[in-house]
Structure 1
Amino acid sequence: MTRMRSALWLLLGAGLLVLAGCSGPGGGSTSTSSKGGYYKDDGPGSDIPDNIAAIPDAVPRIEKHARANFRPYVVFGKRYVPVSDEKPFRQQGTASWYGRKFHGNKTANGEVYDMYAMTAAHPTLPLPSYARVTHASNGKNVIVRINDRGPFHSKRIIDLSYVAAAKLGLIGPGSGQVIVEAITNQDIRDGNFGPPPRPKPVPVAPPAPAPLLVAATQTAAPHPAPATPDALAALQHQEAPISTSAVHTPAPPADQIYLQFAAFSAAGTAEDLAQELGAQIKHVETRPVHVQASSDLYRVRVGPYPSRTAAVNAAVRIEQETGQPSALTVGHPQ
């Protein structure tokens, strides 16, 4: 009997070590590879799907739980108490991600970890359950299925799969501030887990027009204002060609207008997004996607555009096609 009990304790100890090591890389150090920040001995796989952004979010459904999944447990001397799937849960903190080192291994839920599935590891949310994760900086959000335990690290609250982190824009930096909100069973019954409404694109207000110098021999004819002006029409009217015989126009500026979609510290991450974005928008936009390096950042931009009107119109087209928001920026020609 004593020998059998000792064997059971050894198995339990081994199980906790596997849980701590395979459920998430919370205790590891980070790498500074050009592919982006990730945990030591881990990183992106070699067979990354062509269109990461098109991989759908997890679809919440009510699932059964083993009683053992709600039992408190201890890892690295810290006690964790799983929470109920019927109570609201909201948490803000740092998210990290785990990839090829754990791809194909068993999760704490007994499933096989797939770095290209919309899953995540969390120390206390029910196994399995669902949560919405929102990037606190850019507002992007995804729904993931919690099927693993981790990260067991005091400074991180959730480990995302590679694809979930990619859709949030966390692959390059390796980690980032997120908001984790549990999707309860009641939310699922009510269908209350759809994506939050995206703000509609707002046309950028035109700059104040420069004063016009009219020749002394001519009198400028007044133009009647339209009864119901709008911002886009005002831009188009402002940028109509003006006769050079009557007006002295300044030389065009050296800088040009671009749409900026992201900025990364890793060149490889920026190049990957540029290629992906270029393939997505080729049917709606003829201008190229650039990666512009400056101040230790690699900015993914589309352009240049001859005017703010053209840039705003392109931003609306591209967001409707890809769901990717952008910002107008001024930069030197490529």
Structure 2
Amino acid sequence: LGLVSGLILLMAGCASPSSRSPTSTSAIAIEAMPKAEPKSRSGNMDTYVVLGKRYYTKASSRDHVETGLASWYGKQFHGRKTSSGERYDMHRLTAAHKTLPLPTYALVTNLENGRRAVVRINDRGPFVGNRIIDLSYAAAKHLEMVNAGTARVEVRSIDPRDHGQDARTLLRLASATPRHLPPARPPGSRVYLQVGAFGSRGHAEQLRRRLVSTLDTPVLVKAPLANGALAPLYKVQVGPLRSTADVDALGRRLTALGLEPPLVVPP
């Protein structure tokens, strides 16, 4: 009961910024090199219920890649116990996740500006809306999403315990992975709208089939580059599109279907 109460308290929310700076100002914020750690004694139950919804935790973070909305939590939770039993420190690069093992190291990329941070997931949440991860204030500040409150992100596990590889190699390869952000588009150039990115090809194909039955514009699944080390990311893209009007109209239609606002990406 105590754990569930703690989980409910750690729901997503925006806090007032602090004057203290994040612990790293590098291109990729890394507070501590990821290392293999034993799972925490608390917070790793097979299943738990919060606000009437049941969640099933993962035994391993291996090959975990997902995209969605991130939120952050700060001053009002500073010093409170996290689900792992540790104290929440808003000035450390940490995060909360509903199902990944505690602790887990993950590379979080803000898909709206390309900024990245390596966080140590040591808490459960967020349990509000469609958010996939709740970042500490320090992580949110580095990703430049404090004022907005939320941002569309990619979460990629790089935990050495579950991947069996050197963390420095994982970080180097992840850093070299190109990120597609909304580009400046020259007149007459072709672009695509990216509506999803999945670690599973099956999930990508499922979304593609759904869109094909609804849209007149071609829908494709773009296979990942074979780097042999990181989890593949299958991207669902719609296009090509040539005019700003087409991009705007299709973007509104995709949003009306219940999808997150798409990203504009080059061929």
TM-score (norm. length: structure 1): 0.47
Aligned residue identity for 1:65: K
1:64 maps to 38
Q: CA deviation at 1:154?
A: 2.8
CA distance in 2, matches of 1:107, 1:50: 20
Aligned to 2:20, the other structure's residue is in SS state: coil
Match of 2:189 in 1: none
Provide the residue aligned with 1:190 in structure 2.
166
Distance 1:60 1:52 in 2: 15
Name the one with the larger strand percent: 2
Aligned pair in 2 of structure 1 residues 86, 162: CA closer, same or farther (>3 Å)? closer
Label 1:74 to 1:167 Cα distance change in 2 as closer, same or farther (>3 A).
same
| Alignment partner, residue 77 of structure 2 | 102
C-alpha distance in structure 1 between counterparts of 2:73 and 2:79, whole Å? 12
State the alpha-carbon separation in 2 of the partners of residues 123 and 114 from structure 1: 19
Deviations 1:175-216 (A, max 9, x none): 1100111124253533332141388xxxxxxxxxxxxxxxxx
- State the distance in 1 between where 2:85 and 2:96 align: 13
* CA shift in 2, pair 1:16/1:50, >3 Å: closer
Q: Could you state the TM-score of these two structures normalised by the residue count of structure 2?
A: 0.58
* Residue type at the aligned position of 1:125: L
Matches for 1:239-254 after TM superposition, within 5 Å: none
Give the CA RMSD over aligned residues: 2.3
Structure 2 residue identity aligned to 1:150: G
Q: 5+ unaligned residues in a row in structure 2: which ranges?
A: 179-267
How far apart, in 2, do the equivalents of 1:51 and 1:16 lie? 30
Q: Sort the Cα spacing of 1:64 and 1:172 in 2 relative to 1 into closer, same or farther, 3 A.
A: same
- State the identity %: 42
Please give the alpha-carbon distance, in whole angstroms, between the structure 2 residues aligned to 1:49 and 1:170: 14
Instruction: Give the secondary-structure state (helix, strand or coil) at the position aligned to 2:139.
Output: helix
* 1:1-334 matched pairs, under 5 angstroms: 12=1, 14-21=2-9, 23=10, 25-26=11-12, 38=14, 42-45=15-18, 47-49=19-21, 53=25, 56-66=30-40, 69-85=44-60, 87-184=62-159, 185-187=161-163, 189-191=165-167, 192-195=169-172, 196-197=175-176
Q: Give deviations 1:4-26, integer Å, cap 9, x for gaps.
A: xxxxxxxx2x43122211x3x33
Secondary structure at the counterpart of residue 101 of structure 1: helix
Contact residue 30 and residue 117 of structure 2 kept, 8 A:
no
The total of aligned residue pairs comes to 171
Alpha-carbon distance in structure 1 between the residues aligned to 2:119 and 2:97: 11
- Alpha carbons 1:70, 1:83 under 8 Å: kept: no
Unaligned 5+ segments in structure 1 are: 1-11, 29-37, 200-334
Residue 50 of structure 1: CA displacement? Answer: 8.1
Query: Which structure ranks higher in relative contact order (CA pairs < 8 Å, sequence separation ≥ 6)?
Result: 2
Is the contact between residue 65 and residue 127 of structure 1 (CA under 8 Å) also seen in structure 2? yes
